Amino acid sequence: MRYPKLREIKEAIKALIKGPYTSRFPYEPHKPFERFRGKPEFHKDDCIGCTACVNVCPSNALSFEDKIENNKAKRILIYQLDLCIFCGQCQANCPTGKGIILSQEFDLATTENREDLKQEIEKELLLCDGCGEIIAPYEQILWVAKKLGPLTFSNASLMLIYLQNFPAIAGSRPILDAKRENLALREKPSPKEEELEFMRSDRIKILCPRCKREAVLKS
């Protein structure tokens, strides 16, 4: 006969004195442990719309959709709760560390419409001044520029975005509430790609990688 280990006896005595380890939920509120992996939630002010969380989600609970209307583009990030397995990969791979965070909310059962289990946030997208294609979300570019510091001025597109959004990057007020102050002039994007003829001055524009290459080679 194998005798119980001393630590097992210790835990048994502790349980007799302090009471059961289990909680009385749902009759009493239950507070999960600090590292409990509950419902993931987007934090709009900290999310930069980079879709890193979408790329690492194993259950496809996260998705996104890009829309362009009237030379304005937006990215819609979608979280579908009923597909989530609460693995925590989205939070672990978020560049800012705060864009999507697993909360301690665990009582998620519902019999209502499936649409009620969605969370959506929108992010403004930056368009190429040459071809009009999507480059990246504004907030992602601003986050990168802030991380690079003075190295931002080694890239023409980053430099222009920095100058057009200087108060937001400098931290004088939040990005979402900052009114863009044009410290750099911005020309209107070309209406049609087939009519596009790059000049030497086009190198100093906000361009996608393909147009940047064409501007350098053909100007």
Query: Please, which pLDDT band fits residue 196 given cuts at 50, 70 and 90?
Result: low
Query: Please, which pLDDT band fits residue 47 given cuts at 50, 70 and 90?
Result: very high
**Which range has the worst mean pLDDT, 17-31, 61-75, 82-96?**
17-31
The tokens for 217 are 């080679």
Mean pLDDT of 52-72: 91
The whole-number pLDDT of residue 206 equals 84
Residue boundaries of the structural domains of the chain: 32-126, 128-219
Question: Residue written as tokens 């989205």?
Answer: 90
Phi, psi of 151 (to 5 degrees): -65, -15
Strand partners, 67: 74
Alpha-carbon distance 1 to 100, whole Å? Answer: 52
Quote the DSSP letter at residue 83: G
Q: Does residue 132 carry a pLDDT above 90?
A: no
Q: Which among 21, 34, 216, 210 is positioned nearest to 132, based on CA atoms?
A: 210
- Mean pLDDT for the chain? 80
Query: Please, which pLDDT band fits residue 214 given cuts at 50, 70 and 90?
Result: confident
Strand partners, 73: 68, 125
Alpha-carbon distance 99 to 48, whole Å? Answer: 7
The whole-number pLDDT of residue 172 equals 44
The tokens for 120 are 């959506």
The model's pLDDT over 148-188, given as tens digits with 9 standing for 90+, comes to 888 888 888 888 888 877 665 555 444 444 444 555 555 55
Burial class (CB in 10 A: 0-12, 13-18, 19+), 202: buried
Q: Does residue 193 carry a pLDDT above 80?
A: no
Phi, psi of 136 (to 5 degrees): -170, 165
Q: Does residue 60 carry a pLDDT above 50?
A: yes
Architecture of domain 32-126: 2-Layer Sandwich (3.30)
The three-class DSSP label of residue 80 is strand
The whole-number pLDDT of residue 163 equals 82
Report the predicted TM-score, pTM, of the whole model to 2 decimal places: 0.70
Residues in CB range of 83: below 8 A, 6 or more apart: 59, 60, 61
